[in-house]
Structure 1
């Protein structure tokens, strides 16, 4: 039996005696989120986490988030453990909680968790008393670090260094219903003052999503006409039983909700175009629009979102493990 006990009760927030988690945007004080963003703006590699141990625990595929967490920890000089679920004891029937408890017993102090189940990160945070847990995406629930990276990208691209997003119009277009990125962005960008409108077909943007604090539209053209920020999202076919339950056809979807070259030319020229990735090129966004190679079209900051993910996660790791 390892020395790390597993408890069922407990809190998932930040406490004076326990570890500092990041489970969701909505459960985290805005002051703390602003602090993380401010540190990310000025981040340069250092040795602040030398001697500390961080692990990635990903139960879903990931390129950007997993890799950027690894790079961020390395740029803080932390020891990094990459756990491959394909070769771990999970394949022998070990539970997610037991796997996390084993990591804690081995000296891991913080872990980034991605899982298909909503609430997975919160469950680990409750069950492993001394392990700092960062939600790297849990089902359709939230993806807080992506929202932080997006906020940093917007602030720098639109010269909002204090993260005051009042009078900023943000359009999020695509599969809002299945998107944890959308839920975290609605919460964070709205808290910073932005006006957020979500657009897509009724099958992907149910009216009930207005309860999250955004406006709902089923017309992409109306939504993006005066937007300062356009965030495109892919259709998450893997979260639906059949593709036909989401859209009638890729061609029709692109015609009504794709950021095509012709649509991009009609945008506010000072706007920015974003996408958290991965992109389905030619479906929700045309390649030249995504790459920013089309003359006369608002600039794409998609690559900036990726690099800013490292800065945000480096700042977050420092906040979680040192409280500064």
Structure 2
């Protein structure tokens, strides 16, 4: 999904007891929020501190970190495969269409990992760092908080083809996007709630150009896009050139995590085709968009629930995978 966020899901109000576990359907070891309480008690504090500095330096970084967690989990599960650079037998997922020229924030994760290795060597996984950074980025920009189930381990491989195949694209049809979510055991409620991460961040001109000039291959713009807004977008997103020009996904409050994203969609001002189809192509998703536009508390609660659910996609636990010393490469 496009930068948020390509990219783009009552937990914020719930208090978990120390014995609260999040089991997985496949019977693997459960993830739970207290995983590092004894092995690395300062882990969560360290992640939050580094993320806070990065977001203070550049507000856009919150969306970038949130998006990395999403793009990681949709390929092989939440295993930090996205963070691996190309080397030896590994072809990096960073080269895939959804990530090339847009996935960013890797140096922030390097800084977090470096700090954690000093504090408690070989203990905290890169996959858990991604999950925590996504939560902290949400909170720092005004969004909901939730307890992050922990205990993921890192993969020893990547999947370029999986990254190209599994991650929803800005120009996918509604049905294609929903199918990609269902393949991850996420439903239409998760789809609409997680798309709300587009309340922060940017998208490149190349991600929505077809809406401005040639939506259906007939040389006509997308008429589901407010035409005065479209005219404004055309000034910096020409027919050719300017591919990397950045635009706010939510032009009303671009650095604040709120429900204006849904209000924009109601006004036909969702930037990406994948945003606007939530209102135009499905009655069920249209009703959810209306609900979240009217009630930010409801959106926040569901976003927190859906983020926990997404973070539970096929994690490696127990003796599977490894704890990488460097998030960019497997241990030697």
* TM, length-normalised to structure 1: 0.28
Q: Which has the higher contact order (CA 8 A, sep 6+)?
A: 2
Q: Larger strand proportion, structure 1 or 2?
A: 1
